[in-house]
Amino acid sequence: MPNIILCYDFSAVHTSDAADKIGTALSFFYPVNVLDVFHAVPESFLAGDVIVSVVSTWHEGQLPQAWNESVPMLQTVSFSGKKVAFCGLGNGDEYPDFFCDAIGFLADLFEKNGGTLIGKTPAEDYHFHHSVAKRGDEMVGLCLDYQKHRDKIDGQVKTWCDELKKQIES
Ligand SMILES: Cc1cc2nc3c(=O)[nH]c(=O)nc-3n(C[C@H](O)[C@H](O)[C@H](O)COP(=O)(O)O)c2cc1C
């Protein structure tokens, strides 16, 4: 039974709401352990077969502070043998040139350190102009917009978690 680590900034409001929804959906199938990135150390990731990170983007393409401060620590973590997935929070109408950039930076980092990326979504599902999280026709993860598309979030999370389950087990 794969062990999931759900990593996010516990102090971020929308992020915590999204992480709760994702954790609830995945916990029907797997043990889910939550990890506050603010307190994470390299050993925090050891027990995870799948690392699901939930991260908003701030200030025109920046990581939130807790994630930004964790980057030097994350650069020392080996994600080899682990599957990694990302859920980004952003606003493609207000920040169309930086939509959910944070998960793009983090996906690059986690993959560089050996992680296998799962949970990509079609870029055509979103409205934006440019994003670091876009690779070809896909985004590196699920993107949620709490400002303009809150009504879609429950459905997006369910569809994504169903797809994650398939990719976790393949
Ligand atoms: C000052 C400010 C800057 C933002 N910058 C971006 C951005 O560059 N890209 C983006 O996609 N969303 C951006 N957003 C939208 C946030 O990511 C979005 O509001 C998100 O839901 C915040 O979640 P949190 O409160 O859990 O951190 C910004 C929001 C604010 C208020």
Superfamily holding 4-169: Flavodoxin domain (3.40.50.360)
Tokens describing residue 36? 């506050």
Q: List the chain residues with pLDDT less than 50.
A: none
**Which parts of the chain fold into alpha helices (H)?**
13-26, 65-74, 101-112, 153-169
Task: Please give the distance, rounded to the nearest whole angstrom, from the Cα atom of residue 154 to the centre of ligand 1.
Answer: 19
> In the prediction, which pLDDT does 6 show?
98
> In the prediction, which pLDDT does 8 show?
98
Give the mutation target among 11, 68, 87, 91 for probing the ligand 1 site: most ligand atoms within 8 A of CB.
91
67 CB near ligand 1 (under 6 Å) = no
> In the prediction, which pLDDT does 149 show?
93
